[in-house]
Structure 1
């Protein structure tokens, strides 16, 4: 099978996977922003109430008590329910994060399979394509897929270690976490794969 034929066959899957990855990530980020805002409002209210309690000369007609109860029945009540919801959905959040990592790993697998079809498992004659953090794109795809598949086993072949140590040094220190979690989403973010077009553009470098 030619690479162009392969890419045509997987295009719909790539569109779907990339869309789901970014939708899931955006939803998680929004939930965290909402909870952070409610927590900040509550802590601010209690700080002001504590100030007036310790400095009664500045308290006009029980303002500290008013602030305390306003905070409790206002943002703190909201935070209570939000935190309760957050705790109840902690497993769901973890599952969503796992889903993002798994979907990102699938995307790397699509890319790796295309390289394998075109150049074989040894990638003989494979061009650089483009460099990312001083490493060829195809090398990061290959080792990134391996890392995403095997990170829980805690043992990596030297090429994986070399690739991620270099990414940690040249791209982001977050890549040093490769022994602790899947780095698949970090990699597709590094590549700038925001759409299927981005993915296809990079893959066509290896026609």
Structure 2
């Protein structure tokens, strides 16, 4: 096996394990958010529909007012929980993208070190009409420079082709200044270290 793959094995394996852990946490947070939002809607509806009509007795109005106050307090509490969950989800989404970007960086660095240039490396398998080699190379560049929002023609051309062949998640127009590394890892089928190695052993024999 290529020495670079041996030297980076521990790091990449841990990155995949970390990515899996982050994904599971993200799924749990997303489900929790869905439940909290539903609960909030119930309490918010309860507050809005509390009947305080002047025609009712004082006792009824007091009870209705109490229910409305409790519903309002609960809705506000849940609003805060929803905001916290949304922030946590955003943090985990950024973490997943950063981990995926690190995997692409290691893969691209291996190609650079071993061959010196992209063109000198084998193409690897085809992802639609695109060589995996080129997907790794240009996706790493997008991941490294996404905050700048300005990419060279090779990056733009590759992501345009990915958008056409693989879906709108690769649109750089619809996802400005957004890291697309996780979407790349997914479309490559790199769900674990073993799948990553299948491609890398072809690129770095």
Q: Please indicate, yes or no, whether the TM-score normalized by the shorter chain is above 0.5.
A: yes
Per the TM alignment, residue 32 of structure 1 is displaced from its structure 2 partner at its CA by: 1.7
Per the TM alignment, residue 43 of structure 1 is displaced from its structure 2 partner at its CA by: 3.5
Higher helix share: 1
Per the TM alignment, residue 161 of structure 1 is displaced from its structure 2 partner at its CA by: 0.4
What is the RMSD of the two structures over their aligned residues, measured on CA atoms?
A: 3.1
Per the TM alignment, residue 77 of structure 1 is displaced from its structure 2 partner at its CA by: 7.4
What does residue 133 of structure 2 align with?
138
Of residues 168, 172, 187 in structure 2, which corresponds to 1:173? 168
What does residue 56 of structure 2 align with?
none
Provide closer, same or farther for how the CA distance between residues 88 and 205 of structure 1 changes in structure 2, counting only shifts above 3 A: same
Q: How does 1:1-207 map to 2 (within 5 A)?
A: 4-41=2-39, 43=41, 80-88=76-84, 90-124=86-120, 126-177=121-172, 179-206=176-203, 207=205
Q: Which moved more, 1:80-89 or 1:3-12?
A: 80-89
What does residue 58 of structure 1 align with?
none
Q: Distance in 2 between matches of 1:79 and 1:186?
A: 36
Q: Which segments of 5 or more consecutive residues in structure 2 lack a partner in the other structure?
A: 52-59
Provide closer, same or farther for how the CA distance between residues 43 and 145 of structure 1 changes in structure 2, counting only shifts above 3 A: same
Structure 1, residues 2-49: CA drift from partner, whole Å, max 9, x if none?
Answer: x61111111111111111112112212221212212333554677699
* SS at 2:2 equivalent: helix
Per the TM alignment, residue 138 of structure 1 is displaced from its structure 2 partner at its CA by: 0.7
Q: Which segments of 5 or more consecutive residues in structure 1 lack a partner in the other structure?
A: 54-61
Task: Using structure 2 for the length normalisation, give the TM-score.
Answer: 0.77
Task: Using structure 1 for the length normalisation, give the TM-score.
Answer: 0.77
The number of equivalent residue pairs is 191
